[in-house]
Structure 1
Amino acid sequence: MEKVHASGYMVRSGTLKYVYVYVYVHGQDQQLFDLAADPHERHDLSADPGWSGQVARLHELLLDQFDPDALGAAAKESVRRRAVIRDAMTATGTRWDVAGDPPPASRYVR
């Protein structure tokens, strides 16, 4: 069963693309790309002091749309709930997937 340890968010303004990764295990990370000058997103500008104003502006724009703390907490809780279900299914031999037709003895109710 997959587990989400980070949630990612992105906003774009003109040629600037700001990516914010909220990792509830290790903190957060951010990236800034100028898509006109770097269309393949190979040069992160977020640590460059000359771009700090754009990073701050785009971060605020992102926070106007998303609440990473609330979404991260919800994702963490979802992982916990799915682990409980996985463990219960493992203990009982229950499976979500069904391959082929059920065995003949279970096809009919008598």
Structure 2
Amino acid sequence: MVILVVIINTLISMTLLYVAWRVWQLKQQLAYIADRLTAYESCTHTALNKAPENIYLSQQNIHNLRQRNQALQIQIQQVRQIISLLLLGKQIWQRYFPKLELITGKKTVAK
């Protein structure tokens, strides 16, 4: 009877020892995961710490670029209008003064 109690106690002790070992392994794994998460949090904090300021500066730069782009678009439109006026002037000149050359100013002889 005593041998049966000793065997049962030994089995219970070995089972509890195995459970304690598994809990200790789980604790080690959780500690490792916690350390990694802390390191990841530190890295992301460092990377994203200045993100709002950088986003704001980028928005300002984009706004400034859009304003400069609008000014350039107006200048491009003005240059196109000038070129159109010059071409219209050339067409009118050729229509009403077909015998005169634009560059030399000499009359050409019609054949």
TM-score if structure 2 supplies the norm length? 0.29
Bigger helix fraction: 2
Structure richer in strand, relative to its length: 1
Greater relative CO (CA pairs within 8 A, separation 6+)? 1
Asked which structure has the greater CA Rg, the reply is 2
